[in-house]
Structure 1
Amino acid sequence: MFKYSNVCLDTFGYSLPPRVLSSADIESSLAPLYDRLHLPEGRLELMSGIRERRLWPKGMKPSEAAYLAGKKTLDDGGIAAAEVECLLFTSVCRDMMEPATSAFVHHKLGLPKSCLVFDISNACLGFLDGMVMLANMIELGQVKNGLVVSGETAEDLLESTIAALNADETFTRKTIKSSFASLTIGSGSVGCFMRRAEAGETKPRLVRGVWRTDTDHIHLCQGDAQGGETTLMQTDSEELLLRGVDTAAAAWDAFAAPGWRNEEVDAYCCHQVGVAHFRMLFDRLGLSEEKNFQTLPFLGNVGTVSAPITLAMAMEEGAFKPGERAVMLGIGSGINSIVLGIDW
């Protein structure tokens, strides 16, 4: 358990890619596979709960996507680039192995040379880990503020998966299951400017959190580049669902102290993977489904962007009033889970 007294979530900003790709569009692209295996149309949306997801223009780099969200965050908050003391880039996707993708974002945003920059990578939990890392530095007085950004680019993974499924005629209804999760991925970017809270603060504060890890299951979801620009991911979705919920339950048990039990929390903003995942998670943890703010149906699984963009959209719609509480909850392959508590 970790607690904070002085961490303000000043401004969130996000950028949505221009192209909308529906689950029906993906099934149309998979017509050779669907015809050969006699798969019913509508299967992808029915199983995932995802109607559509967003995609960037071809060739978009993670740093470019993160820059868009970072600039939106600074612009919306009226924050000068020269004021930013720390920049953390947190996506699964990155521009290249070296240098850190945060360096490219720093350059595009025109941040000062005194600004600390580095990447954090932890599957779909990178942004939440970035919030914790920056909160630690703010609480310790190492920096007064900082910007956490993420830019996920799902285009190559989707294209590579569709091509592989159509090209390999040995796939069966059973063996395609390991590729199913790749078809739920979407693109997007998000940023959050965090700073030391001031007296009489009216903006939300990050106040507490818990994490849990179970690396006995590192094999359940693995993705990597496979020659050239081809990226593929293999996921045991059913087992990952079960073990991920187990890990999240352990985190929630440690988090849900008096004042933070389900009946005392006003909204949940979660890393969203699929409808089956959401239902099993909330049932296991005893959480109220009606308190969950959902972006899954129209954004899909946006990796590290999912939980923070869900919170940003909820705030944009005026979902919170002074005195209310929100919880961010994420599960990432590895397996890791983190729960963060926010006060208004």
Structure 2
Amino acid sequence: MRAQALRLHRRRGVRTIQEDLIDLRGGSVPGNAIARFQNVALLSVASVLPSRVTTSDEIERRLAPSLSRLRLRSGLLRRVAGVLERRNWAEGESVDAATIAAGQRALAEAGVDASEIGLLINTSVTRAHLEPSVAVGLHHGLDLPSSAVNFDVANACLGFINGMSLAATMIESGQIRYAMVVAGEDADEIQVNTIDRLLRGDGDRDAFMSEFASLTLGSGSAAAVLGRADEHPEGHRILGGVTRAATVFHQLCVGSVDGMFTDAKALLKGGLDLVVSAWKEAAGEWDWKSMNRYITHQVSSIHTDAIVKAIHLDRSRVPTTFPRFGNIGPASVPITLVEEQATLHKGDRVLLMGVGSGLNTAMLELAW
């Protein structure tokens, strides 16, 4: 059913997307949502990665019958996405345990006791059930106080940045002193289901490519601790940023544990126009042309190169982790920041940049 809906949307998509891109450039209610923070700092960011490595070559060997039938050359994941491998949880590992471990690591690095946390926001896409929230199990595992507000924020791959902004708002308002934002992703089930379906099916190349994004997913966990800047001068100031929506594209990427179906070309085009629109309007409030690092959501080489070209970024300042880790959803941005933080120096300017299915985009500036 999802695949049929996507094909219908694709057939109707040329007219719809062209018209809606015009709306993005100057519709009746255009604009960014802007947030500024005066006294909030990122105190730490930590990650825990699975020990099992799954190479793209291994996935393509499993898909060999389908690739042969469709006459698709091997090396597709490397060539099209630039994803060489990704991580999956090994026997004895679990995403919840890893997310708890990442949270404990972040607390230790921040020098904050679990009893001081006033807010826990889980931003993961992965969830074993609809209710209760993922956050309650993490709250219990981290031994947080009963006074710590806890809930899930789900906004596809944009969730972690949204969670940081929400936590910063509550700290700035004086409601809490410390907050923790987490994300833990487990791509195993969706990849297994996708591979099984592609091997059983008799669809054409378009049907295969509509599920291609599922094959690029990876697993991992991340956590960040935020607090008051005046109490932690060693922290990294969260200055603020912008968000912007283009929800007319909400059918271009639809996913569940059964599979993720995308119209890749339309998604890239709509996402780029959204980012460019947000970037241009933000120029009136923010000077982001010469940041020391741009930590972007990790999707593929095509997406990264397109964003770099569209808004004229210095490619050497845009680190990538997708070749090794794949797309880890909302955990991609904090995990990439963890990988990069050893190279950052006091005073460096860092811009977190995300795009999430729907479509939404967010940009958040840090003063390292």
The bucket for the TM-score relative to the shorter chain is over 0.9
Instruction: Report the equivalent of 1:284.
Output: 310
Instruction: Report the equivalent of 1:320.
Output: 344
- Paired with 2:102 and 2:300, the residues of 1 have a C-alpha distance of 24
Q: Which amino acid aligns with 1:7?
A: V
Match of 1:176 among 205, 208, 228: 208
Q: Which amino acid aligns with 2:52?
A: R
- Paired with 1:114 and 1:91, the residues of 2 have a C-alpha distance of 22
Instruction: Report the equivalent of 1:19.
Output: 52
What is the TM-score with the length of structure 2 in the denominator? 0.88
SS of equivalent to 1:287: coil
Instruction: Report the equivalent of 2:283.
Output: 256
- Unaligned runs of 5+ residues in structure 2 are 1-33
Alignment of 1:1-344 (within 5 A): 1-57=34-90, 62-168=95-201, 170-198=202-230, 201-225=233-257, 231-257=258-284, 260-263=287-290, 265-315=291-341, 317=342, 319-344=343-368
Contact 1:63 1:94 in 2 (8 A): no
Post-superposition offset of 1:67:
1.2
SS of equivalent to 2:207: coil
Contact 2:95 2:220 in 1 (8 A): no
Please list the CA deviations of residues 78-121 of structure 1 after superposition, one character each: whole Å capped at 9, or x if unmatched.
32211111111100112311111100001011111111111100
- Unaligned runs of 5+ residues in structure 1 are 226-230
Post-superposition offset of 1:202:
2.8
Contact 1:7 1:205 in 2 (8 A): yes
Instruction: Indicate how the Cα distance of structure 1 residues 180 and 247 shifts in structure 2: closer, same or farther if over 3 A, else same.
Output: same
SS of equivalent to 1:162: helix
SS of equivalent to 1:93: coil
Please list the CA deviations of residues 290-332 of structure 1 after superposition, one character each: whole Å capped at 9, or x if unmatched.
11011111011000001111112111x2x22222201000000
- Paired with 2:271 and 2:91, the residues of 1 have a C-alpha distance of 32
SS of equivalent to 1:176: helix
- Paired with 2:42 and 2:283, the residues of 1 have a C-alpha distance of 21
Alignment RMSD: 1.6
- Paired with 1:73 and 1:86, the residues of 2 have a C-alpha distance of 14
SS of equivalent to 1:305: helix
Greater helix content: 2
- Paired with 1:258 and 1:86, the residues of 2 have a C-alpha distance of 29
How many pairs were matched up?
Answer: 335
- Paired with 1:288 and 1:146, the residues of 2 have a C-alpha distance of 33
Post-superposition offset of 1:142:
0.5
What is the TM-score with the length of structure 1 in the denominator? 0.94
- Paired with 1:199 and 1:75, the residues of 2 have a C-alpha distance of 17
Contact 2:171 2:228 in 1 (8 A): yes
Larger deviation: 43-52 or 196-205? 196-205
- Paired with 1:160 and 1:45, the residues of 2 have a C-alpha distance of 21
Please list the CA deviations of residues 258-316 of structure 1 after superposition, one character each: whole Å capped at 9, or x if unmatched.
762323x111101011111111111111111111011111011000001111112111x
SS of equivalent to 1:149: strand
Please list the CA deviations of residues 30-51 of structure 1 after superposition, one character each: whole Å capped at 9, or x if unmatched.
0111222232211211100111
